[in-house]
Amino acid sequence: MNILLIHQYFLEEDDPGGSRWNEFSRMWTDNGHTVTVLGGMMHYNGKEKRPEYKGKYYVRKQQGAVSVLRCHVSEAYNKSFIGRLWGYFSFMFSALYGGLFKLKGKYDVVIVTSPPLFVGITGYLISLFRGMPFVFEVRDLWPESAIDTGVLTNKMIIRLAFWVEGFIYRKATLINVLTPAFYDSLRDKKGIVAQKLIQISNAADFSLSEKLLQEFDRETFRKAHDLDGKFVITYVGAHGVANHLEQLLDAGEALADTNVLFLLIGQGMEKERIMTLAKDRRITNVRFLDSVPKAEVFRYILASEMGASVLKRVDTFKTVYSNKTFDYMSCKKPILMAIDGVSRKLVEDAGAGVYVEPENKSEYDRIIRLYLNDPDRLIREGESGYRYAKENFDREVLAAKYIAHIGTVVRQK
């Protein structure tokens, strides 16, 4: 199949971290499919455009076997809420023009992954004018999550967002959701027929973890990075309003008499504020690192005792899986899960860690001390999570299931 993917945050080859869509695209091209991506010029954690994109609206790139057309995103993106909203709309329009006039040839399907929600309009219009099925993926229940975290408050924009959401769901040929809670919400609350819904979740990347598990020199890495003698709990991910990482400062403060070290890796709009807050409160057992390449992320996880998955305590987040949870599992690390709902159930079903009530300082303190006094529990739960993820969330298996569903809608066209 010839696949067109619209993904505002499709990673560059040298971007830190990892992306399910970079991996899915690679796996699909390895199996003989063709993938072209309409991607943005600004990462959601980036402060400004790369120099190669300055003053340009479109740049063509080749990332392995995947062709990428980088489309304009306003540099106001990370400056304010209005700037971010304009960043969404600027990509919506630039990707639409790029998809209609910059790309040649015929595509079998267009896939849009969200958020941002508004790019679904782009996908629908491209599918309409270029005559192909439209597949829409829901990575986050938006606008609900933006409303619950207080990011979205303007009533007119909220009404517009809900209208756009309903329109996209009606027009999509197939809708993929990442969690069972999303599936239930779309079917039961939003009235989407089950025949239109599939669930291909986030997944674990065993291709990297299994290699590192065999060859990684943990003790040497810990000594080189000043982790020796520490009980390291690593958080990898965005440092934004939704994550409310201030709760890890609270936990660090409560555990100041122990050898616990919280290691926070990533970028985001809240990072500078959180770092300043840690300094002002003289919290010395929370350490901040900038984003690092994916292989390095896995080394930090392997050098840790636990991995932390953290979000703000709001009801909408009870429906989400945290991406990095699966990386922790693939590295045989137990999870400190500060997200209720389906993420909590995932960890408990897998026997892969423990739930801690988000933003509850005393619970962080109590639970982490249990692990400090029971090192065998770390090994037991790490192994259990690894087995569960291998059986249920192997990225290669899920990539194959996804492309099979897409092939079905293409054949039905």
User: What's the full length of the chain, in residues?
Assistant: 413
Q: What is the CATH number of domain 2-203+394-412?
A: 3.40.50.2000
* Residue 5: strand pairing partners: 37, 111
What number is the average pLDDT over the span 267-276?
92
The proportion of the chain whose per-residue pLDDT surpasses 70, expressed as a percent, equals: 98
pLDDT digits (tens, 9 = 90+) for 115-157: 888 999 999 999 999 999 999 999 988 888 888 877 788 888 8
Count other C-beta atoms under 10 Å from residue 387's C-beta. Answer: 15
| Model pLDDT, residue 316 | 86
Q: Output the average pLDDT for the chain.
A: 92
CB 320 within 8 A of CB 339: yes
Which residues, other chains included, contact 125 with Cβ-Cβ below 8 Å and sequence gap of 6+?
96, 100
CA 139, 144, 147, 150 torsion: positive or negative? Answer: negative
Are domains 2-203+394-412 and 206-392 of this chain identical in fold? Answer: yes
Kindly calculate the radius of gyration of the chain based on its CA atoms and give it in whole angstroms: 21
pLDDT of 79 over the 80 cut: no
Task: Report whether pLDDT(215) > 70.
Answer: yes
Are 43 and 9 in contact by the 8 Å Cβ rule? The answer is: yes
- What single-letter amino acid sits at 70? R
Residues 6 or more apart whose Cβ sits within 8 Å of residue 19: 9, 10, 11
298-332 pLDDT tens trace: 999 999 999 999 999 988 899 988 888 999 999 99
As beta bridge partners, residue 289 has 265
CA distance 128 to 138: 20
Which CATH entry fits the domain spanning 206-392: 2.30.40.10, 3.90.870.10, 3.40.640.10, 3.40.50.2000? Answer: 3.40.50.2000
Q: Is the pLDDT of residue 99 over 80?
A: yes
pLDDT at 87 over 90: no
Q: How far is CA 221 from CA 117, 213, 231, 328, 387, in A?
A: 41, 13, 14, 18, 25
Whether the full predicted model's pTM is greater than 0.85, yes or no, is no
| Cβ-based neighbour number of residue 338 at 10 Å | 31
Domain boundaries, the chain: 2-203+394-412, 206-392
Residue pLDDT, tens place only, 332-354:
999 999 999 999 999 999 999 99
Q: What residues does 308 pair with on adjacent strands?
A: 235, 336
